[in-house]
Amino acid sequence: MDSFNEEDIKMYFYENRLKTFEKWPFDEDCTCTPENMAKAGFIHTPSDNSPDVAICFFCLKELEGWEPEDDPEKEHKSHSSSCLFIALKKNIEELTVEEFLKLQKERHKSIIIKTGKDAIAKFEEAAKLKRAEMIKTAMEEE
């Protein structure tokens, strides 16, 4: 994992997050506008079934089912209270190099934890299916 490649750090910047909200289903008459979503650290990651999926680029918390009156910052804090990005008191441009490196280290921890949890969930599901298959085979042989 390269901590300093362009793709890895570009979402720290508001303008880059905002660009991901081209086809966001909520407009200026809502609280969850693209601008407010991007300010809260979200990027738009729609799918065919869920056009309003957004994920925090930092803590990787994914939220969908947005309502027009939802406040992105409040939703982010309530669903991911430990996210250091949403807790930042400074703009990214104001961080010292040391502060940025500490933040990036925490972001990588989030990525590793999420990747590990996803891998464990996949393994547990595969084990569950294999166990059921083995039980079925054993029952048929009796």
Q: What is the CATH number of the domain that holds 124?
A: 1.10.1170.10
Whether 1 is in a domain gets the answer no
Domain interval for residue 123: 6-141
Q: Supply the pLDDT for residue 97.
A: 93
Q: Supply the pLDDT for residue 37.
A: 97
The residues of the chain scoring below 70 in pLDDT are 1-5, 142
Give the predicted TM-score (pTM) of the model.
0.79
Whether 16 is in a domain gets the answer yes
The C-alpha atoms of residue 98 and residue 102 are separated, in whole angstroms, by 6
Q: Supply the pLDDT for residue 4.
A: 60
- Tell me the C-alpha to C-alpha distance, in Å, between residue 107 and each of 7, 57, 59, 68, 73: 14, 9, 6, 29, 18
Whether 36 is in a domain gets the answer yes
Domain count for the chain, please give it: 1
